[in-house]
Amino acid sequence: MLTLRSISLAAAAAVITIAPAFALPPVPRPAPEFAVQLPDGSQTLLSSLKGKVVCLMFVHTTCPHCQHATQVMSKLYGEYGSKGFQPVAVAFNTMAKMLVPDFVRNFQINFPVGYAESDTVMSYLGLSMMERSVVPQIVWIDKKGVIRSQTPAMGDEKMLGEPFWREEIETLLKEPAGASRVRHTTHPASAPAKAQSSLR
C-alpha cells in the first residue's frame, strides 16, 4: 500500500522530471560551443565567429517558414554582413545532410548552412526532445559570444519577423566588441506563433 509520504515523494519526482522541459535557459548567457557540420565535410565552430553579431538559425529544409526566413536573412546579410553581421543556419530534419545543398541552391542562401542531429540541437537550445516546439528556432549572439535572445519553444510572432531581426542586428552591431551591457530577461509566455511549423 502506498503511504501518503510515498505518494508525495512520487509527485515531487514527477514535477522535477517534467520541469526542465518547460524552462528555457536564462537569457543572457554565454553561448556554448557548437560545431556546424558543412556538406563539404568541413565544420565551423561557433566560437570562431566571436567578434561578430551572429544569428544562429535552427531550421528544417522542408519547412516553408524556414525557407522564407533564410531568404529574408540572406537579404539582411547582404545589408549588414560588411558591418559584422553573420547568420548561420543549421538544418536538423531527417536526411538534412543530403538535403542541405539543394536547400541552399533552391533558395539562393548566401550564408553558411550546415546540419546537426536533432538531439544535439535540442540540447543546445535547452529544450526536451519530448517537448512540443516549432521551427525555425533562432538564437541571437552578441560580439562577446553572449546569447542575448532566443525564440521560445512554441515561437513568438514578433521575434520571428523581419522588423525584430533588423532591430536585433542594428542594436547589437552598435555595441563594442569588448563590452556587453545586458540585463536578464525572461522568455515571453506567448501564444504559439501562427507562422511557424511544429516539430512534433
Q: What's the CATH number where 75 sits?
A: 3.40.30.10
In a domain, 156, yes or no: yes
Does residue 17 belong to any structural domain of this protein?
A: no
Classify residue 44 by its DSSP letter. E
Count of domains observed in the chain: 1
Helix (H, G, I), strand (E, B) or coil at 2: coil
Query: Which domain covers residue 45, as residue numbers?
Result: 23-177
Average pLDDT, integer, range 45-57 = 98
Does the pLDDT of residue 7 top 70, yes or no? no
Provide the pLDDT confidence category of residue 118 given band limits of 50, 70 and 90.
very high
* Residue in the structure block whose three cell numbers are 529574408: 72
Q: Is residue 164 part of a domain?
A: yes
User: Does residue 81 sit within a domain?
Assistant: yes
Q: Which is higher by pLDDT, 8 or 143?
A: 143
pLDDT value of residue 131: 87
Q: Is residue 115 part of a domain?
A: yes
pLDDT category, 3, cuts 50, 70, 90?
A: very low
* Averaged pLDDT of the chain: 85
The pLDDT, as a whole number, for residue 13 is 35
Model confidence at 29: pLDDT above 90: yes
Least confident window among 1-10, 61-70, 87-96, 171-180: 1-10
Q: Which helix (H) or strand (E) element contains residue 75? A: helix 64-80
Q: What is the arrangement of strands in the sheet containing 85-91, beginning at the earlier edge strand? A: 29-30, 146-150, 137-141, 53-59, 85-91, 113-115, 35-37, 43-45
Does residue 185 lie within any of the structural domains?
no
Give me the mean pLDDT over the 63-87 stretch.
Answer: 98
Of 4-13, 28-37, 86-95, where does mean pLDDT reach its minimum?
4-13
Contacts of 113 (CB under 8 A, 6+ apart): 38, 70, 88, 89, 90, 91, 100, 103, 104
The reply to whether 194 falls in a domain is no
Q: Number of helices and strands (H, E) in the chain? A: 5, 10
Which comes out higher in pLDDT, residue 179 or 93? Answer: 93
For 23-42, what is the mean pLDDT? Answer: 94
Q: Is residue 105 classed as helix, strand or coil in its secondary structure? A: helix
Q: Identify whether 2 is part of a domain.
A: no
Closest CA to 192 of 158, 148, 165, 167: 158
